[in-house]
Amino acid sequence: MPQIQLPLFPQGASELTSHLAFCVRDGRVTYFYGHLPVFTHDEKDLRTFRLITSQFIVNGVVKQSQIIKSFGLPAVTVKRYVKLYRTKGTAGFFEEPRRRGPVVMTEDVLKQAQQLLDDGLSRSVVAVRVGIKPNTLAKAIHAGRLHEREKKRHQSDSAQPHRSPAVSVV
C-alpha cells in the first residue's frame, strides 16, 4: 500500500493548496509540492511567475481562484496568462511584445520629406507638403530617421566689435 505524503512545508511557506506551497527567501521564490521543492525563480521575474502559475493551473495542481487569492491578482490577468500558456506554451511568455510598424512615416514619406528638407525647406512647409503633422516630422528628425541641413550662418554685427553710441554732455 502506498504511503500518503503529509504536507510538511518549510517554515514561512504560504499554502496554495494542501499539497502546494511557496516560500520567498533571499529574493528567490520556491514552490514546494509536499516537502519537495519543484520550481524556483527570482522574486522580480514576472514572466517566469506567470509561466509557472499558469502551468500549475493547466496541469490541475491548483485552481485559478487559489492563485488569485494567494497572490492578490485580478482574475482577468490570471485567465489571460492561462490562455497564453494553452495557445503558445512556455515560449509565449518570453516572446518580445509585438509593436506596430510605422503608419504615417512610411519609406516613401521619409524619402519625400528628406528630399524637401535637403532642398532647404522649413519643417512646417515640409509637413504640409508631405501631408503629416509637424510634430510627427519633428519626432522623426529627433529619432534620427530624418536629418535637417546645417543652417548657414551669416556674419552679423556680433562679429564686429561693439561700439557704444557717443554720449554728449551738455
CA-based max dimension of the chain: 124
Sheet strands side by side (includes 14-15): 14-15, 20-25, 28-33, 36-42
What is the per-residue pLDDT across 137-163, written as a single tens digit (0 to 9) for each? 999 999 999 998 876 666 654 555 555
Average the pLDDT over 111-137 and give the result.
Answer: 93
Give the pLDDT confidence score for residue 46 in this predicted structure: 95
Give the pLDDT confidence score for residue 97 in this predicted structure: 84
Give the pLDDT confidence score for residue 155 in this predicted structure: 60
What is the per-residue pLDDT across 116-127, written as a single tens digit (0 to 9) for each? 999 999 999 999
6-9 contacts at long range (C-beta below 8 A, 24 or more positions apart): 6/34, 7/34, 8/34, 8/35, 9/35
How far, in Å, CA of 105 to CA of 158, rounded?
40
Give the pLDDT confidence score for residue 75 in this predicted structure: 97
Give the pLDDT confidence score for residue 149 in this predicted structure: 81
Q: What is the pTM of this model?
A: 0.58
Q: Which residue has the higher pLDDT, 152 or 59?
A: 59
β-pairing, 28-33 vs 36-42, is antiparallel
In the predicted model, what is the mean pLDDT of the chain?
A: 86
Give the pLDDT confidence score for residue 137 in this predicted structure: 93
The length of the chain in residues reads 170
What is the per-residue pLDDT across 67-77, written as a single tens digit (0 to 9) for each? 999 999 999 99
Give the pLDDT confidence score for residue 66 in this predicted structure: 95
pLDDT band at residue 105 under the 50/70/90 scheme: confident
Domain residue ranges of the chain, discontinuous segments joined by +:
14-93, 107-143
Give the pLDDT confidence score for residue 18 in this predicted structure: 87
Q: Which amino acid is at 87?
A: T
